[in-house]
């Protein structure tokens, strides 16, 4: 079974609350990502508070995205 993102929500604009199809819950700190230039647009308005998912990635309207593979890499990194 392929791992899917079931749900994503923003917590205070600094963390993502993510639920995966295997029942795992991830609390992802956005601060390391916000240092990347491509995420700058999320800070210009409240878009950071409205992440979406299509099951394979987390994305923001007219903004960057994070694939499930990238997400798993971020979770594994110390």
Domain with 50 in it? 5-76
User: Is residue 18 scored above 80 in pLDDT?
Assistant: yes
The predicted model gives 29-44 an average pLDDT of 88
* 66: Cβ contacts below 8 Å, ≥ 6 apart: 33, 57, 58, 59, 74
Span of 14-23, 36-45, 47-56 with lowest mean pLDDT: 36-45
User: What is the pLDDT of the chain when averaged over all its residues?
Assistant: 92
What is the per-residue pLDDT for 78? 64
**Which CATH number covers residue 67?**
3.30.2020
Q: How far apart are CA 43 and CA 7, in angstroms?
A: 22
Q: What's the structural domain count of the chain?
A: 1
pLDDT tens digits, one per residue of 42-56:
888 888 999 999 999
């Amino acid at each position: 079974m392929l791992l899917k993102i079931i749900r994503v929500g923003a917590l205070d604009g600094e963390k993502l609350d993510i639920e995966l199809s295997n029942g795992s819950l991830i609390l992802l700190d956005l601060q390391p990502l916000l240092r990347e230039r491509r995420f700058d647009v999320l800070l210009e308005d409240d878009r950071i508070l409205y992440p979406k998912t299509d099951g394979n990635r987390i994305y923001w309207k007219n903004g960057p995205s994070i694939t499930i593979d990238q997400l798993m890499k971020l979770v594994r990194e110390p």
